Structure 1
């Protein structure tokens, strides 16, 4: 999905297998799958009942009127993205450790793109229907969206959530360049985290758009914190890993509060408190930390694997298609608001299950194999 920049080094790569604490359920951290779904549902609550904008048209009135009690808690759901970024830092470090650059690229591309392509085409097709009141993206812009480069190219986006994928892509590129390519080891990962923290801080002070695109200071602490938690997972006594996690949390909560605290805005949809924002950010770090330390090894139910598989396609389609479902159920069929909310979540999870079975399980292995195969 990303074209990774090639870097060379004089040092011989030292690749060591991950040291992971024993788990009763084998190698998969199923609690991490469950946390993924929680983060996705947080974002869905925000999109359906924690903000204004297009969801107002779907409900026929402000979501604050639809959910007079829950609209404020739902407004914190946007922080599910930060939780996702912490999880991503953990998972990418774990999956990239010991992999070649080709294998890493193939794995990431095959994981992201098939469901993404289908989501772009599906949302575009639904929004093109005459009965749907939302504006469709032009055919030219839809084609650009298939590259996942629409945001830097300034093209209208089909999926509202795809800005987070652009952040993920940049993280993958940085991690591939500085860790995967030369060969993952503890020292190199530590230097990567420390270097990125410093680069992000300098970027914030330099006010240079190019540096901001590359080092994304607003989101870097969450990815770095996840990487640090994977180092904790490998060795819970590593003081450098704990230091990386601590500094990442301190900086991450600052950016989250700065961008989301809106107490001074009298026209804000809902007033988030600074302590509430800090608490949700802390939840993300603590939850991934508990998994890293093995405290949630008993959370090993098989259905969590299914939940984890549904999370990505659900995340892709739930916002825009959810608007259509909400409008159909609530405004046209008269279904009560709370029932509409639950039925919309259920319908998007069902669609995600279909996408996982029909698209991901069939196309992902084939694409990964094609991209990972050596070429003469």
Structure 2
């Protein structure tokens, strides 16, 4: 990639990944009341079956995209400017969607004190839940990654040399060692294997560091030639990304039941997404000629509020509409249409306004502004 070119392919991958996560959650929503893990006869859209079964892997796709985008954003930024711009990007939609999630759950009977506490934890991205919405945990991981990158920028500035590339390799290497340790413990049926699945290990990026690191390496490959050592790291991190996905699919099968076809399905989705990401980066001009339309950019921008707003809002919306629309496919179309319309409205209205206010208040006018066309990301979130 020899010049700056908006990566329309990443916009499409973002939206596709968010829609997969939407399908995954819809396939488990209850039809009588807001609920998530339900038996098949209680599900409003249980007929989605395998279509939504592996959709959760969209989160792992987001983490790779985030590694790429954040590496690009951090290359010529100060630590302060990097954190400020990330905050302006992340918090407006998070606050809006968290408020929506709080409102719909209070309407369904959630105690006010419980909802207020969960809302506050979500609004500040507390490393300790519970959160007002089931997807906020991925934003917590993103925030930890941002802090890590900001630290690399700050330390690199003090030392007089960039540390992003080395920091990405370190993050991926530590994560790969952790996953390898888990696989050994799990294979030997050691009790510690279950402990390693607890949330603090995710917050420490030990489970998902390989995804962020892989995205950072893809960004470096777009900027310059990778060394043989770095090509080896790409292969190693990819292997452990596949191991994490397999482990998560098998853990879900063990805990909540399911079908083992989720393993090849999730792996296939993730590998296909990686192919599109690589094509988006290294064939950006070709993709721009065929998909370079304004609506593609808008679709990329609405991905973040779609991801944040679909879970709690969709979970409460589904049983409410089910009382009026008994026909399953029509109910599905109605829920998806409303969730997509809400994401578009959030992106076009209050999110954009709050981001403008944040930029005017927090971004220093005299600072050099380095804009990367890829900065319309997340999530990563997921």
Q: TM-score range by the shorter chain?
A: 0.7 to 0.9
Secondary structure in 1 matching 2:54: helix
Q: Is 1:357 aligned to residue 348 of structure 2? A: yes
Counterparts in 2 of 1:343 and 1:249: CA distance versus 1, 3 Å: same
Counterparts in 2 of 1:228 and 1:185: CA distance versus 1, 3 Å: farther
Q: Which residue of 2 aligns with 1:123?
A: 101
Secondary structure in 1 matching 2:163: helix
Alpha-carbon separation, structure 1, partners of 2:11 and 2:199: 34
Alpha-carbon separation, structure 1, partners of 2:32 and 2:236: 39
Q: Which residue of 2 aligns with 1:16?
A: none
RMSD of aligned Cα (Å):
3.2
Q: Which residue of 2 aligns with 1:78?
A: 56
Q: Which residue of 1 aligns with 2:336?
A: 345
Among 189, 201, 218, the residue aligned to 1:229: 218
Choose between structure 1 and 2: higher helix proportion: 2
Alpha-carbon separation, structure 1, partners of 2:169 and 2:236: 10
Counterparts in 2 of 1:43 and 1:186: CA distance versus 1, 3 Å: farther
Q: Which residue of 1 aligns with 2:91?
A: 113
Offset of residue 120 of structure 1: 1.3
Report if the CA contact (8 A) 2:96-2:351 is conserved.
no
Q: Which residue of 1 aligns with 2:123?
A: 146
1:158-191 Cα deviation digits (max 9, x unpaired): 0110000011011111111124652599973331
Offset of residue 140 of structure 1: 3.4
1:309-339 Cα deviation digits (max 9, x unpaired): 1111111111111122221222x11242122
Among 8, 22, 29, the residue aligned to 1:44: 22
Q: Which residue of 2 aligns with 1:14?
A: none
Instruction: Give the paired residue count.
Output: 345
1:115-151 Cα deviation digits (max 9, x unpaired): 111111121122212xx266763323433332111xx
Q: Which residue of 1 aligns with 2:80?
A: 102
Alpha-carbon separation, structure 2, partners of 1:340 and 1:246: 43
Among 65, 69, 75, the residue aligned to 1:91: 69
Alpha-carbon separation, structure 1, partners of 2:140 and 2:252: 29
Alpha-carbon separation, structure 2, partners of 1:145 and 1:356: 19
Secondary structure in 2 matching 1:261: helix
Alpha-carbon separation, structure 2, partners of 1:319 and 1:365: 27
Report if the CA contact (8 A) 2:171-2:209 is conserved.
yes
Alpha-carbon separation, structure 1, partners of 2:136 and 2:163: 30
Counterparts in 2 of 1:181 and 1:335: CA distance versus 1, 3 Å: farther
Report if the CA contact (8 A) 1:160-1:320 is conserved.
yes
Offset of residue 247 of structure 1: 1.7
Unaligned runs of 5+ in 1: 1-19
Alpha-carbon separation, structure 1, partners of 2:60 and 2:32: 25
Alpha-carbon separation, structure 2, partners of 1:55 and 1:80: 24
Identify the structure with bigger relative contact order (alpha carbons < 8 Å, sequence gap 6+).
2
1:4-37 Cα deviation digits (max 9, x unpaired): xxxxxxxxxxxxxxxx334xxx632122111111
Alpha-carbon separation, structure 2, partners of 1:106 and 1:115: 15
Question: TM-score with structure 2 length normalisation?
Answer: 0.80
Alpha-carbon separation, structure 2, partners of 1:175 and 1:324: 36
Among 127, 132, 135, the residue aligned to 1:158: 132
Alpha-carbon separation, structure 2, partners of 1:192 and 1:94: 14
My pick for the range that moved more, 304-313 or 281-290, is: 281-290
Offset of residue 352 of structure 1: 1.3
Q: Is 1:307 aligned to residue 331 of structure 2? A: no
